[in-house]
Structure 1
Amino acid sequence: MRAVVMAGGSGSRLRPLTIERPKPMVPIVNKPAMSHILDLLKRHNITEVIITVQYLADMIQDFFGDGSSLGMQIHYSVEETPLGTAGSVKNAQDFLDDTFLVISGDALTNFNLGKLVEYHISKGTLATLALYNLPNPMDYGVITLANDGQIVRFQEKPSRGSVMSDYINTGIYVLQPEVLDFFEPNTPFDFANDLFPMLHQQGYPLYGYVSEGYWCDVGNIPEYIRANADALEGRVEGLDLGRYLGNGIWAGQDVEIAPTARLEGPIYLGQSVQIKSGAVIYGPTVIRDYTVVDNEAHIDRSILWRNCYIGERAQISGAVILRQCSLKANATVFEGTVIGDGTIVGESAVIHPGVKIWPGKEVEPGATVNSSIIWGSQGRRVLFGRHGVTGVVNIDLTPEFSAKLGAAFGATLSKGSIVTINRDMHRSPRMIKRAIISGLPSAGINVWDLGSQPLPVARYYTKICGAEGGVHVRLSPFDERVVDIHFMDGQGLNLSKNKERDVERVFFREDFRRVYLDDIGSIEYAQQVKERYIEDFLKHLNTRAIQDASFDLVVDFADGAVASTLPAILDKLNCNVVSLNANIERTNFSLNPIQFQMALKQMQIITTALGTQLGARLNPGGERIFLVDDRGYLLAGTTACAAMVELALRDAPGSTVAIPIDLPNLFEHIATRHGGRVIRTETDLDALIKTTCSEKVIIGGDGKGNFIFPDFHCAVDGMMALAKILEFLATQRASLGDIVSKLPPYHMAERKVSCVWEAKARVMRLINEKFESYRTQIINGAKINLAADKWVLIVPDPDQPYFRVIVEATSQGEAETLADEYAQVIEKLSPLE
């Protein structure tokens, strides 16, 4: 049997380890990562290997040669340009005329490949994927299996709120040669993202084999450190670490250890390593060939590559020191530091935690380094969350961090392009916004400052002005200490997950684009922002009908930027408005849940007392809207959404609406009586927006006060939602109270069930297996359909360690009972085994 070893990756997330070598050549303990993979293949009697290479290909070819020294036959397939995992294997198709194995050359594993091959043959399938059970699988491709092992769903790096299983794709496959006939040569094509989903959609049965043993993809520096530690601590059975001296110490030839040195394993010492008098070394530590550790030096949980010198009384803790580095006497290197090849750290210099030093640098004696030399430092692993980039101001989000963030975003865009930037009224977003502005021009980006506009206005203007992206900085509505930074694409929408990863990749690689003097971007104030929004806004309304109705309204502006735009719109619509909280100079926009409910109650009381036709509260940014009808009832989010859908379908019968999967079947009943259709989406707001704007949908709503009217623009807009309600009521000569009173009844209950992060994916897999026969929709979480208008939805929360259990039933009592019952099911499945 032949194997294809994929070794073309550049390992950008491992920089600076991979600046001077391809990722498969990064050493794990005593040899390059790919050497361990070839050893594994040889142990399973697979000795004929094709290695696909691209980045620094000569280094791999020179090291392994034709494989004769290993007792193997090695052939090479060279990619001129990156072709993806499947595309690179396609290049070697002439060698592959029978069942073959594909394996990554830069991971660490001890899987039983023989059992994997036997399983593949027994299933008679085109492809079998080796899977691994991982508690937190969100950074990997996730696979959902049927009970017979057949793959039923692929998820590529799912969010915490959408993950369906804890089985991950390890990149190890057993394939039939025919799979390579499904796509063209010399075309970028990926196994996980392209080929396997395509085969699955075409009805070809694919299988997953859950492998036992050890697996680590060594995808970043913390994982690299962990892989070395796991190897030393015996978690990777089958590795040959060389001569064992006892007490958890392995050593190569000609190692010298002074009698007064103190070593506490597990430790690996390479060939001709010298440990001098009084040196102290705590494991897990790797010290590779020809390295000298001088008198009284102290090394703890670190990895030192070949030919390094560690001076007298130097201290290294939790660091990675690359090849041919010299740390002089009394130098100190702290946790998480990576020092690149050939770097000299002067006497008594101090390198602070998390610093990266690129190859060939020199740190002066006595210097203190607290940021990465040349490229800068970073301390976060992931930037983006559900609310963009968030953090406590001046702690997580500092001006220097924000400037680098702006430079990283700019580096993902075309040089000379335009980025709009906007903020709310608080001092903290103003500071962070100005820092971001300083970073963008350094990457050759022209900045158009929108000032302080409602977020829908900023999104709209970003789309129409020809910008390639946008930024909005706001105080978090949940915590006044926290600032949220939203990044937008050229359509004014939040960045896609792939675009977010592009920004993160640039930021964490610390590889910012620096343009020459003449290419530095400009900073200008945008003109006619509000006016252009209002002009187009009114064109999308039946203004005459609204003006003739002359509505009496109570509107709570929440002291936000929305108060600078919405009053002018309502004035043009001939509305008589009682304004609440319209002071845009206020700087406190965050309300706790009790304060928020009090604000809604105040609006309800005033609306009722004045007898107006409608009461509305918008959030400070102008996106969400909360309603009180003419009867004085404060409408629940689902009820308000249903009323809006009812009005929209009355206005345009036979149309389509988009609604998340966690809202009741009420919406299908409304659509049916108007000849319409409901498209269900994931619970994530971005998914709702994407569906609303990609399908022929007239309205999207999430039951939480967010509405999208794609005819105007593809973004949540509370101001447009308010105006459309007025238009519908005017043209249909109806009152909101009448509309609400005629809605079909619904009964729902919800529970939150605590579950540690590590167990979430496993619980989702077990839920899907347990209720497989009841599931009819795979959109988000596990939806269990019990009967007409009776279902249970179990969804992992993306930001908190709990599950949401949402239930609809034919009575409120039944809904509460079912919610309790299924919450108990999760509680029983949650404990880690």
Structure 2
Amino acid sequence: MADPAADPLAAQAEAVILVGGQGSRLRPLTLTTPKPMLPCAGVPFLTHQLLRLAETGIEHVVLATSYRAEVFAEHYGDGGELGLAIDYVTETEPLGTGGGIRNVADRLTGGPDTPVVILNGDVLSGHDLTAQLRMHREVDAAVTLHLVGVEDPRAFGCVPTEADGRVTAFLEKTPEPVTDQINAGCYIFRRDVLETIPTGRPVSVERETFPGLLAAGSRVQGYREDAYWLDVGTPAAFVRGSADLVRGVLRSPAVAAPGPALIAPDALVAEDAQVGDGSVIGPGCVISAGAVISGSVLFENVWVAAGAEVRSSVLGAGARVGERSALTDAVLGDQSLVGNDNELAAGARLWASAVLPDATIRFSPGA
């Protein structure tokens, strides 16, 4: 990450993080906790984004909340502990990405030319935000988007650009993409442009705001950098993102010492238990003799009995795994119980407080 002192523009910029989604793809974990507040590499996922903004030199952040909005303010307060000033705006009805951005505009404090960084609250990115800000200023863009190349862009909307990065179109999902570039979910708006978004109704930036700017002849700029990028909206991606942060594949100011695993100081891990591949063992957890924890995230107070194996899985607070049970690509809700000698795999999910009794069964979708 570039040194903020080398580019005063970063200190002038403000930021908005969109954290209002219900996180339906991560249920049952998000039934009680907003997706951005789920523990990821030892802290709420949102903390990684906030510290990255602070490291870049940005000082003021507005959180655009909706689902369980009170959780954010209860945890972060005024943002002072992170070196930030944080404001909160609650969206009372769905407004889409553009409408959500416009809904927080009156909490921004800069002038009409102030750069406003917009982040989606479920994306991990290692791209150079300072360089994106610099390009935004140098070309005097209305909006500058971070673009990444993907192997198969057909599942995304494509964003073709000219040689100098100027965006020429926003294309919906097509069977024959004209470019591998997609919108990576980090935008920099000039403040006066942000305020042209209509108020009081849902607005899509991809379908309305950005195409409208192009039609009006405004400069919409693409900043392409094929750095680490991951949407953590699914259990598999959430586990991968957490493991990558723990191992240092993606650096975060919130992870002081990357390594094979992150184990809370008060967790109890048997000497012959195996914990690795970027796993996180949360506060109050107990990992018994012979257990294997690989590439998984265990929230607080999880108990894994002797001989059990947990791979590429997420275990909610207070979950219990019985002796010799095996979990692969599974999700356990808070306070759920998997009895002895069970096997959960291939995306199996156990709801909060649910109980799977002792048995030797194989449970996977379609089985």
The TM-score with structure 1 as length reference comes to 0.41
Distance 1:239 1:215 in 2: 17
Q: Is 1:128 aligned to 2:144, yes or no?
A: yes
Q: Is 1:346 aligned to 2:360, yes or no?
A: no
Cα shift at 1:243: 4.5
Question: Structure 2 counterpart of 1:272, which letter?
Answer: D
Q: Check conservation: 1:3, 1:101, Cα contact below 8 A.
A: yes
Residue of structure 1 in register with 2:70 after alignment: 58
Question: Structure 1 counterpart of 2:314, which letter?
Answer: V
Q: Check conservation: 1:350, 1:366, Cα contact below 8 A.
A: no
Distance 2:326 2:246 in 1: 25
Q: Is 1:267 aligned to 2:279, yes or no?
A: no
Residue of structure 1 in register with 2:119 after alignment: 103
Identify which of structures 1 and 2 has the higher relative contact order when contacts are C-alpha pairs closer than 8 Å and 6+ apart: 2
User: What pairs up with 1:498-509 in 2 under 5 angstroms?
Assistant: none
| Secondary structure class of the residue paired with 1:241 | coil
Q: Is 1:166 aligned to 2:180, yes or no?
A: yes
Cα shift at 1:289: 1.9
Q: 1:353 to 1:130 in 2, by over 3 A?
A: closer
Cα shift at 1:370: 1.4
Cα shift at 1:199: 1.4
Residue of structure 2 in register with 1:311 after alignment: 305
Residue of structure 2 in register with 1:9 after alignment: 21
Question: Structure 1 counterpart of 2:353, which letter?
Answer: G
Q: Check conservation: 1:3, 1:48, Cα contact below 8 A.
A: yes
Question: Structure 1 counterpart of 2:228, which letter?
Answer: Y
Question: Structure 2 counterpart of 1:26, which letter?
Answer: L
Q: Is 1:189 aligned to 2:203, yes or no?
A: yes
Q: Check conservation: 1:352, 1:368, Cα contact below 8 A.
A: no
Residue of structure 2 in register with 1:35 after alignment: 47
Cα shift at 1:54: 0.4
Structure 1, residues 380-423: CA drift from partner, whole Å, max 9, x if none?
A: xxxxxxxxxxxxxxxxxxxx9xxxxxxxxxxxxxxxxxxxxxxx
Quote the sequence identity (%).
Answer: 28
Distance 2:349 2:317 in 1: 15
Residue of structure 1 in register with 2:357 after alignment: 364
Structure 1, residues 632-676: CA drift from partner, whole Å, max 9, x if none?
A: xxxxxxxxxxxxxxxxxxxxxxxxxxxxxxxxxxxxxxxxxxxxx
Cα shift at 1:22: 1.3
The one of 228, 233, 242 aligned to 1:214: 228
Q: 1:324 to 1:11 in 2, by over 3 A?
A: same
Q: Check conservation: 1:349, 1:368, Cα contact below 8 A.
A: yes
Residue of structure 2 in register with 1:148 after alignment: 164
Question: Structure 2 counterpart of 1:13, which letter?
Answer: R
| Secondary structure class of the residue paired with 1:117 | helix
Q: Check conservation: 2:51, 2:254, Cα contact below 8 A.
A: no
- Structure 1 unpaired stretches of 5+: 249-265, 372-376, 379-399, 401-833
Distance 2:93 2:355 in 1: 34
| Secondary structure class of the residue paired with 1:132 | strand
| Secondary structure class of the residue paired with 2:160 | strand
| Secondary structure class of the residue paired with 1:145 | coil
The one of 279, 292, 295 aligned to 2:289: 295
The one of 65, 68, 78 aligned to 2:80: 68
Q: Check conservation: 1:40, 1:110, Cα contact below 8 A.
A: no
| Secondary structure class of the residue paired with 2:159 | strand
Q: Check conservation: 1:279, 1:295, Cα contact below 8 A.
A: yes
Distance 1:132 1:172 in 2: 11
Question: Structure 2 counterpart of 1:176, which letter?
Answer: R
The one of 48, 59, 62 aligned to 2:60: 48
| Secondary structure class of the residue paired with 1:152 | coil
| Secondary structure class of the residue paired with 1:144 | coil
Q: Check conservation: 1:106, 1:218, Cα contact below 8 A.
A: yes
Cα shift at 1:108: 1.2
| Secondary structure class of the residue paired with 2:212 | helix
Residue of structure 2 in register with 1:752 after alignment: none
Residue of structure 1 in register with 2:316 after alignment: 322
Residue of structure 2 in register with 1:112 after alignment: 128
Distance 2:103 2:124 in 1: 25
| Secondary structure class of the residue paired with 2:168 | strand
| Secondary structure class of the residue paired with 1:141 | coil
Residue of structure 2 in register with 1:201 after alignment: 215
Question: Structure 2 counterpart of 1:226, which letter?
Answer: R
The one of 8, 11, 20 aligned to 2:32: 20
Cα shift at 1:322: 1.6
Distance 1:124 1:300 in 2: 47
Residue of structure 1 in register with 2:329 after alignment: 336
Q: Check conservation: 2:326, 2:343, Cα contact below 8 A.
A: yes
Cα shift at 1:170: 1.3
Residue of structure 1 in register with 2:10 after alignment: none
User: What pairs up with 1:652-801 in 2 under 5 angstroms?
Assistant: none
Distance 1:218 1:115 in 2: 24
Residue of structure 2 in register with 1:412 after alignment: none
Question: Structure 2 counterpart of 1:213, which letter?
Answer: A
Cα shift at 1:212: 4.7
Q: Check conservation: 1:307, 1:325, Cα contact below 8 A.
A: yes
Q: Check conservation: 2:14, 2:116, Cα contact below 8 A.
A: yes
- Structure 2 unpaired stretches of 5+: 1-12
Cα shift at 1:309: 0.5
Question: Structure 1 counterpart of 2:298, which letter?
Answer: L
| Secondary structure class of the residue paired with 2:30 | coil
Cα shift at 1:175: 0.8
Structure 1, residues 213-254: CA drift from partner, whole Å, max 9, x if none?
A: 32212132222222123223322134432346xxx3xxxxxx
Q: Check conservation: 2:98, 2:197, Cα contact below 8 A.
A: no
Cα shift at 1:369: 5.1
Q: Check conservation: 1:4, 1:50, Cα contact below 8 A.
A: yes
Residue of structure 2 in register with 1:403 after alignment: none
User: What pairs up with 1:230-241 in 2 under 5 angstroms?
Assistant: 230-241=244-255
Residue of structure 2 in register with 1:175 after alignment: 189
Q: Check conservation: 2:324, 2:342, Cα contact below 8 A.
A: yes
Structure 1, residues 82-133: CA drift from partner, whole Å, max 9, x if none?
A: 1111111211212333321111222112322111111001111211111122
Distance 1:139 1:274 in 2: 43
| Secondary structure class of the residue paired with 2:57 | coil
Distance 1:67 1:154 in 2: 36
| Secondary structure class of the residue paired with 2:283 | coil
Question: Structure 2 counterpart of 1:280, which letter?
Answer: Q
Please identify runs of 4+ aligned residues in structure 1 that moved more than 4 A: none
CA RMSD in angstroms comes to 1.9
Instruction: Answer 1 or 2: which has greater helix percent.
Output: 1
